Amino acid sequence: MIQITGTTKLLGVIGDPIAHSLSPVIHNAAISTLDLDYIYLPFPIAATELKTAIAGFAAVGLEGFSVTIPHKQAIIPLLSHIDEIAEAVGAVNTVWHTEAGWQGTNTDVAGFTSPLINLQDLSRLNPVILGNGGAARAVVYGLYQLGCSKINVFGRNKHKLATFRDSWSGSAVEECLTVRGWEELDSYLSQTNLVVNTTPVGMHPHQDESPLMRQQIDLLPPQAIAYDLIYTPRPTKFLKEAGMRDLQTIDGLEMLVQQGAAALKIWLQKDSVPVDVMRTALEKYLAERGK
């Protein structure tokens, strides 16, 4: 149990809406286990109130906070410094306070790569990324960090795909990245060893949908890994069908837990936090709600 006293330090998450956020579940489980004098709270902040809210956070001495939709890009000009990861991704999901002001990073990248880093021969990954939205940016940068030299991103909107590609121009990622229309997908599925779904297709309550048809999943080689960023339901239809083919599957829960763990390490200035506790708390919470 967390006991709030006059000395309790504040952490939190900002977004709009924020009621669905699972971050309070993850972080307060860790805080409670570590018996720390902290509390992690949800803050619903409208886009028009972002600047005022950040100034208020500084005034009340908030130590750090998570950032979710719609503030991940808008917060950047309000921070004193962002690191090279946030700079490359173009979005911040974790902010902490220092004497020099608010600092920002993006722990979605570490969250995404954490289930992959124990794979052998990471540079041989030949990934296919489905979707070119915000999460795809963290995925592309994570794969670049892992040493992938060929990253194919597939999208349904040519204009948005071109904007996505152009946003990396001049960076080291540009060399590795190719964007392609959805109609080209099938010929790449038969050659890939990692498919990452970054679209919301298949997410609760649309669990009967999948970004890939069964015939497309059948194209994947036997050694391919199917990775879905969605964490409700578990598994998604995409992962269920990949599992039926005995492909290795990874769902989005680990990414969610690991991005949170990476943020908590920054706020607490610790090398390790109880990731197992965070994961178990989240699994229990989702199971209790039938998700």
Cis peptide before 221 (omega within 30 of 0): no
Question: What track of x and - describes contact with ligand NAP for positions 137 through 176 (by CB under 6 A)?
Answer: ------------------xxx--x----------------
- 240 noted as active-site residue: no
Residues 213-252 touching ligand NAP, rule: CB under 6 A, are 229-231, 252
Smaller CB separation from ligand NAP, 103 or 259: 259
| Burial call 26-65: b when 16+ CB within 10 Å, e when fewer | bbbbbbbeeebebbbebbebeeeebeebbeebeeeebebb
CB of 18 to ligand NAP, least distance (A): 14
Cis peptide preceding 70, ω within 30 of 0: yes
- Cis bond before residue 233 (omega within 30° of 0): yes
* Residues in region 109-138 near ligand NAP by CB under 6 A: 111, 131-136
Burial of 273 (0-12, 13-18, 19+ CB in 10 A): buried
Taking the complex as a whole, the smallest distance from the CB of residue 27 to ligand NAP amounts, in Å, to 14
Handedness of CA 58, 19, 258, 31 (dihedral sign): positive
Nearer to ligand NAP, 187 or 223 (CB): 187
Gyration radius of the chain over CA positions? 19
Query: Interface residues for ligand NAP in 22-51 (CB under 6 A)?
Result: none
Which string of x and - marks every residue 180-219 that binds ligand NAP (by CB under 6 A)?
Answer: ------------------xxxx-x----------------
d(CA 96, CA 102): 6
Give the catalytic positions in this structure. 72
Residues that bind ligand NAP (CB under 6 A): 108, 111, 131-136, 155-157, 160, 198-201, 203, 229-231, 252, 255-256, 259
